[in-house]
A and B are shown apart, each in its own frame.
Chain A
Amino acid sequence: MTELKSRNFKRLYKKEIADQKLRENLRKATIQASGKRNDSFSEVDFVFLRDEAKKIKQESISHLNDLLSQFEDNAHENGCTVFYAESPEKANAYILDVARKHEIKKIVKSKSMVTEEIQLVPFLEKYGIETVETDLGEYIIQLAGETPSHITAPAIHKSRTEIARLLHEKIGIEQNDDPAFLTGEARRVLREKFLSAEMGISGANFLIAENGAVVVVENEGNARLSTSAVKVHVIVTGIEKVIPKFSDLRIFMRLLGRSATGQKLTSYVSLIRGPRKEKEKDGPEEVHIVLVDNGRSRLLGTDHQEVLHCIRCGACLNVCPVYRSIGGHAYGSVYPGPIGSLVTPLFFGPENAPDLPFASSLCGSCTEVCPVGIGIHHQLLSMRQEIKPGSKHGLESFVFRNFRKTMLRPGRYKLLTRLARVFSSTSIVRKILKGWTGYRDLPQLPSRSFREIYKSEGGKG
């Protein structure tokens, strides 16, 4: 694995937060997404669904061993091959092996966070296998040589003008920034890829233990094609995606689309039960399911186990004031936002992301919208203690210590607020606080305190 950029969070976020255009793009997109999410829950009882989903996930994780074995047995019966991979290296090597066995030169791939986590695409490309991202946002990001900046909206940080220029330069289309035009051109180019590729790679949103089915959720129809228009289909997913029953989908399907994009149900839900059957005329001849651990099993039995409940909807990103200001790339991880600030140190080791749990205002908006009831901000708080136990965190600790002392002593409070009124607008103070004032205005304090005004109006001080 290459070293994670999340080690450099402090440097990365400063660069991103200074980009006014990026902040504007993010603000518009995330406010729109969270508004649509809220509207979409008007017809269903969110609390009922969230509590049911949480219970099912708790059951799934506490019986993970049995459910994985049950899923594996049923998937075998359906004609799939199941491969367990402890590490990204093992998963990548297996997938390369499958591709080589079939002499694959071109792969079409639909969106999958786990493949980003294990850096599958650069790995396959290193071995000369063209691997094309077919989700529009992922395709844009791949052409740009970047990484996704949001779990469900990978190109959220890019404006239409930037995308038009990129597609013009990379695939030679007319420079026109109309989203319908750009989408139509991408459809045309990618359609040819679907028709010429022999292997498809997808992720999985859920694995159903009782019947061995794999559930893939999407809107564009690219996952449907990546799993259907190929001879070999490889599914790459985490071990925590297994749930007990097909009927449990009635809960998760109602939550996922609403939480991710404000849809009652995503445009496509593919329920895949193995390679083509005898009487079927198309569909893959082989289906491989790669179950990746990569640090997940270490979380079981710990206080962070509930992080494995996450269904990767991205709702917590859309409501997070930190994400809205700095965007996904600042986190330096494939998993950005509040959930990424947990998942990254947990999966990749706290030494690789020591600052991410601190990238939160702890306002609790993430916890409030989480469709599976993960106490995200509580988790972040406890991770802070684990990563930097008893950390005084320099200036922050100094400020809070003195804030406490000041609030306990009226004389000191009066003196300091008087000084603040005199000096707050001076350039020396602005210089000292430039980390804050660089991107926002320092609140102007009134020239007289409430007590002074009250006294001058004849009240008793």
Chain B
Amino acid sequence: MTDDREKILAAIRRSLRGTDKFDAARNPASPLTSMPQGDFESQFGKFKAELESLGGLAEALNSDADASEFIAEHTGPASSIFIYNEIANLHRSLVESLSESRHVRFGLEFPVGYDKRDAAAFDAAVTGCAACVAETGTVVIRTDMRLPAALAPKLFVVVDSGQLLASLDEFFTDSFGNTDASNLFLITGPSRTADIEKQLVKGVHGPKEIVVLFINQ
């Protein structure tokens, strides 16, 4: 089917003929009236406060072993947990120790174009992230499998402390804009709705619980 490209672009050109072109000089200042301080502790404090105000949870831990223990504590013994490849590669001891007490499956086991029902079978997913933003309590996910993290009721995000950004100003830059991945998801707290009488309900289609674990490397 042929589209109306030429027609529409010609109509735009015609309508705008003779009008002034406007070029906005961007003001580089941040609109924030207060910014978290530069050190990790205060930025983490801000991140934690923001995420927890939305019903999420953030913890700073010392090791993979601590993270494994934390995840085990926050999932039932019969839980089935999906582990993303990057966690399996970068946090081996976390995965090994979690495998001893929980049923885990790895991204590596899934072929390209896997049956999406298989991704809906998990009680929790453990993923890494591309960045975290203290200003809003946001995690940025960029994965080779979109569904397990979107479908599981609980989402654990394992973060290296160096991935924490102070504000959205630092995230919306070329280094993130020019990513090669087909997708980049900013997740700020549990999935939510207020569509019924403006009453807030958490956990609509996405995870009901989101836990962000910072591991001090």
Contacts and interface: CB of A to CB of B under 8 A. Distances in A.
Contacts of B11: 293, 297-298
B127 to A, nearest CB: 14
B182 A276 contact: yes
A263 B32 CA distance: 15
Interface in B53-96: 54
A32 B54 CA distance: 18
Interface in B1-38: 1, 3-5, 7-9, 11-13, 15-27, 29, 31-34
A423 interface: no
B120 A191 contact: yes
B4 A211 contact: no
Interface residues of B, number: 85
Contacts of A396: none
B206 A268 contact: yes
Contacts of B119: 282
Nearest to A69: B9
Contacts of A44: 31-33
B186 A269 contact: yes
Contact of A194 (B138, B168, B174, B205): B205
Contacts of B146: 224, 228-229, 280, 282-283
Interface in A107-149: 134-137, 140
Given A65-B16, A265-B188, A221 B174 contact: no
Interface string A11-54: 00000000000000100110011000000001111001100100
B198 A33 contact: yes
A190 interface: yes
B203 interface: yes
A6 B65 CA distance: 63
Nearest to B29: A48
A387 interface: no
Interface in A202-216: 208, 210-211, 213
Contacts of A277: 180-182
B140 to A, nearest CB: 9
Centre residue among A266, A274, A300 by max chain B CB count within 10 A: A300
Contact of B197 (A55, A84, A160): A160
Contacts of A246: 172-174, 176-177
Contacts of B174: 246-247
Nearest to B25: A55
A52 B180 CA distance: 29
Contact of B12 (A65, A135, A184, A249): A65
Contacts of A263: 188
Interface string B161-201: 00000001101111011111111111111111111111101
B22 A62 contact: yes
Given A86-B8, A225-B205, A301-B16, A282 B182 contact: no
A230 to B, nearest CB: 9
B136 to A, nearest CB: 4
Interface in B140-155: 144-147, 150-151
Interface in B75-128: 107, 110-114, 116-117, 119-120
Given A179-B199, A208-B177, A265-B168, A272 B33 contact: no
B186 A268 contact: yes
A160 B194 CA distance: 11
B173 A247 contact: yes
A94 B1 contact: yes
Contacts of B135: 264
Interface stretch (A151-159, A332-340, A359-367, A409-417): A151-159
A220 B198 contact: no
A247 B182 contact: no
B150 A281 contact: no
Contacts of B199: 160, 179
B182 A221 contact: no
Nearest to A290: B3
Contacts of A271: 183-186
Contacts of B21: 62-63
B13 A65 contact: yes
Contacts of A94: 1, 3
Nearest to A216: B185
Interface in A244-264: 246-251, 253-254, 261, 263-264
Given A219-B192, A300-B15, 13 more contacts: A65-B16, A90-B4, A163-B196, A179-B201, A220-B204, A225-B150, A225-B205, A229-B150, A247-B172, A265-B136, A265-B186, A267-B206, A268-B191
- Return the 9 tightest CB-CB contacts between A and B, nearest first: A221-B206, A246-B177, A300-B15, A137-B195, A55-B24, A221-B205, A220-B204, A86-B4, A269-B186
23 contacts: A28-B198, A44-B32, A45-B31, A64-B16, A84-B9, A86-B8, A97-B1, A137-B195, A180-B201, A183-B201, A195-B117, A229-B147, A239-B8, A247-B174, A250-B171, A264-B50, A264-B188, A267-B190, A273-B182, A279-B144, A281-B111, A293-B4, A302-B15
